[in-house]
Amino acid sequence: MTMPEKPKTTICSYCSIGCALDVHDADGVSGIRGKADYPVNEGRACDKGFNLIEPFDSDERGTIPLVKTEEGMEPLQWLDAAWLFTQRMKDIMREWGPESVAFLSTGQITTEEMALLGALAKFGMGMVHGDGNTRQCMASSTVAYKQAFGFDAPPYACTDLEESDTLIFIGANPVVAHPIMWHRVRANRKNPKVVVIDPRKTKTAQAATHHYAVKPKTDLALLYAIANLLIEKDWIDHDFIEQHTEGFRAFRAHAAEYPLKLTAAECGLKVEELEELARLIHEGRAVSFWWTMGVNQSHQGVKTSEAIINLALLTGNIGRPGTGANSITGQCNAMGSRLFANTTNLLGGHDFTDKKQRRKVAAILNIGQNRIPDRASKPYHEILEEVRAGNIKGLWIVGTNPAHTWIDQEGFDDVVDKLEFLCVQDIYPNTATARLADLYLPAAASSEKEGTFINSERRFGHLQKIKDPPGQALPDFEIFRLIGETWGCGRWIERWNTPEAVFRELRKVSAGQPCDFTGIKGYAHLDEAGGIQWPFPAGQELEHNHRRMFEDLQFFHKDGKARFVFTEPAAPPEQCSDEFPFWLITGRGSVAQWHTMSRTGKVEKLRKMSPDRLYVEINPDDARALGIAPGDSVAVRSRCGEITAVAELEEGIAPHHVFLPMHYEETNRLTFPVFDPESHQPAYKSGAVALKKL
Ligand code: SF4
């Protein structure tokens, strides 16, 4: 096939690696290539990326707004849809006040769209509450970074994966979840030790040099015991601790409460394994720690993230090539959501509760200071609780599918029943959530619009528009503007008239913040450079395009020092019992599946690469004891519900544990609604279930 000379470039809208893809042929998959000179993926992509466009061409796309009537969903024109939205939401707000409506958004739309939605809803419409589904994937790391470093700043560049001689993955499975990141581990020429701490022998654990099959939810105790061992053996960096941290003495006393033998037994590991792990950290010259949802989605995800950061601080493994306490985000624009969605942070990582910061942002945006709420939004699950309690009556859901993903999925129906008005904005009108909507708004897909995503290593990547959306579908940006104008915010959003204009506003807001990107001149600059990581303040030259943070060992607390933060581990609220004797672990199933499969499920090639029915992985000994053979139908029951799955026998699953992939609608009928008390992130990764052959 002859390729046109000038492809357009988009950023993959699946995972947080943020691979750039050159699209030569907008109508088919054959014209998609990994962008050769892009520093993140260097020409590579995984199967999801190579098939990015196909689900956008599906007949199932929404092409016109739809309103619920007695006869079912009926089409209506955009202006009518915008008026209906405005009228219903305003009526509710007039009667019940500004806290009676809220929005739930996503990590899948562009940074500019997130910012416009957050600003419009809060500064324009007067909403107080709005959160993103990013709460479900990395809120724990966000809080941990703020407490430890003084700002939400994942410190690494993707090249650190190649420069490390000891890589420690905790609750992370990059072979499946972040495949292009794993490619860098394979490209590492230092013959690295690759350590995986995970209850399951995941694909990453199979490829690692060391696997520690820790008991579910004992990781926090394990990390403290390792810290204690490092301290006892004096395998710590005294100079670094002295000059660049606070809180070491108290942490040393705390870690001493985790003696080797007792903790090893608690974690289901041998004493020798803990000693080996501590020695690996000690002997590594450049040790990097990586974690993701196995840590974040926990009843104490914040403190577990902090315990990982503590190990990096103890050993001075930060700010140098191949080191770092590195949380990997999930969705393509989770990082955009963390800093620029105007939900828990005021735009640009500012603080809603700080009067000075509100004044600063108001002045930059040329809005009245009283338009900025003086508190952050309620978190996702509290918004849903407020709906259930009848206090929030109007809900706007953008680009996310909680009827499928919510940890308390059964309870989601009650939530929707309580609403007076549910508007769902999505590229498909037939997701589990969109089917419940009173009003459905058809949105453009990522390749049908312009804007930026920020990837896991803080890199702004530019999405060029490849093709038009189908029918009357509009970019989320245009939908927000239309609603803003109908609402009466037309004057206010005049300056926010194109994605790049919003990019420029955000650039101004970022000035002086740790995420300062005032040096990025615009989209053309991003195209030319191959994306640019924050921080990039005005005046800085881009000498190289892989930059890690804290090379100067200055952290963002006022004294420039990082903090040791710790707590007493708590038992998971849901425990195994005689009735529910198996630990339930959930996670990503295969590299071909993404979240609720609303996109990957529409691609034949990807469907063929993953099971078409929900399966449950069971240890062969447990299966024998229960008379279960591979392929049998099995009832899996938890305190929340019961589902049926096909049995798969897996040596990599420890006895008395089972694994369910997260992508199937049934899975979250079983998960028990528990949340980290600080980050409010759901604890999807643990539960207790019973199995029965059907
Ligand atoms: Fe897309 Fe992630 Fe695959 Fe890259 S690794 S192509 S960003 S899904």
Q: Is the CB of 652 under 6 A from ligand 1?
A: no
Is the CB of residue 11 less than 8 Å from the CB of residue 336? no
Q: Report how far ligand 1's centroid is from the alpha carbon of 145 (Å).
A: 25
Q: What is the pLDDT of residues 131-173, one digit of tens each?
A: 999 899 899 999 999 999 999 999 999 999 999 999 999 999 9
Distance (Å, whole) CA 143 – CA 145: 6
Mean pLDDT of 347-372: 95
Q: Report how far ligand 1's centroid is from the alpha carbon of 65 (Å).
A: 31
What pLDDT does residue 4 have? Answer: 52
Residue whose CA is at the smallest distance from ligand 1 atom 2: 15
The tokens of 681 are what?
A: 């992130």
Higher pLDDT, 27 or 124: 124
Q: CB pairs under 8 A, 24+ apart, for 598-605?
A: 598/55, 598/401, 598/428, 598/431, 599/14, 599/55, 599/56, 600/48, 600/51, 600/55, 602/54, 602/55, 602/58, 602/60, 603/51, 603/54, 603/55, 605/47, 605/51
Q: Which of 127, 170, 185 is nearest to 309 (CA)?
A: 170
Q: Is the CB of 49 under 6 A from ligand 1?
A: yes
Residue 404 has pLDDT above 70, yes or no: yes
What pLDDT does residue 646 have? Answer: 98
Helix (H, G, I), strand (E, B) or coil at 602: helix
Cis peptide before 535 (omega within 30 of 0): yes
Is the CB of residue 502 less than 8 Å from the CB of residue 116? yes
Higher pLDDT, 686 or 73: 73
Q: Report how far ligand 1's centroid is from the alpha carbon of 179 (Å).
A: 7
Q: Is the CB of 176 under 6 A from ligand 1?
A: no
Stated length of the chain: 694
Q: What is the pLDDT of residues 659-688, one digit of tens each?
A: 999 999 999 999 999 999 999 999 998 789
Distance (Å, whole) CA 534 – CA 536: 5
Distance (Å, whole) CA 406 – CA 667: 10
Q: Report how far ligand 1's centroid is from the alpha carbon of 272 (Å).
A: 37
Q: Is the CB of 181 under 6 A from ligand 1?
A: no
Residue whose CA is at the smallest distance from ligand 1 atom 5: 180
Q: What is the mean pLDDT of the chain?
A: 95
Q: Report how far ligand 1's centroid is from the alpha carbon of 394 (Å).
A: 35
What pLDDT does residue 5 have? Answer: 57
Query: Which of ligand 1's atoms lies nearest the C-alpha of 46?
Result: 3
What pLDDT does residue 1 have? Answer: 44
The number of CA neighbours under 13 Å toward the Cβ of 142 is: 23
Report the percent of the chain where pLDDT is more than 70: 98
Query: Which of ligand 1's atoms lies nearest the C-alpha of 41?
Result: 4
Other CB atoms within 10 A of residue 162 CB:
20
Q: What is the pLDDT of residues 599-641, one digit of tens each?
A: 999 999 999 999 889 999 999 999 999 999 999 999 999 999 9
User: Strands of 459-463's sheet, edge to edge?
Assistant: 451-454, 459-463, 532-533
Q: What are phi and psi of 21, to 5 degrees?
A: -120, 130
Residue 3 has pLDDT above 80, yes or no: no
Q: Report how far ligand 1's centroid is from the alpha carbon of 18 (Å).
A: 6
Q: Is the CB of 532 under 6 A from ligand 1?
A: no
Q: Is the CB of 17 under 6 A from ligand 1?
A: yes
Strand partners, 66: 75, 440
Of the listed ranges 29-43, 127-141, 151-165, 298-312, the one predicted with least confidence: 29-43
Q: Quick one: pLDDT band at residue 26, thresholds 50, 70, 90? A: low
Q: Is the CB of 661 under 6 A from ligand 1?
A: no
Distance (Å, whole) CA 570 – CA 572: 6
* Helix %, strand %, coil % of the chain (to 5): 35, 20, 45
Q: Are strands 439-442 and 66-69 parallel, antiparallel or unpaired?
A: antiparallel
DSSP letter at 16 equals T
Q: What is the pLDDT of residues 226-244, one digit of tens each?
A: 999 999 999 999 999 999 9
The number of CA neighbours under 13 Å toward the Cβ of 36 is: 1
User: Strands of 66-69's sheet, edge to edge?
Assistant: 72-75, 66-69, 439-442, 421-426, 394-398, 101-105, 129-132
All residues at 6 or more sequence positions from 385 whose CB lies less than 8 Å from its CB, including other chains: none
Q: What is the pLDDT of residues 170-218, one digit of tens each?
A: 999 999 999 999 999 999 999 999 999 999 999 999 999 999 999 999 9
Q: What is the pLDDT of residues 529-586, one digit of tens each?
A: 999 999 999 999 998 899 999 999 999 999 999 999 999 999 888 899 999 999 999 9
Q: Quick one: pLDDT band at residue 494, thresholds 50, 70, 90? A: confident
Q: Report how far ligand 1's centroid is from the alpha carbon of 612 (Å).
A: 22
Q: Is the CB of 46 under 6 A from ligand 1?
A: yes
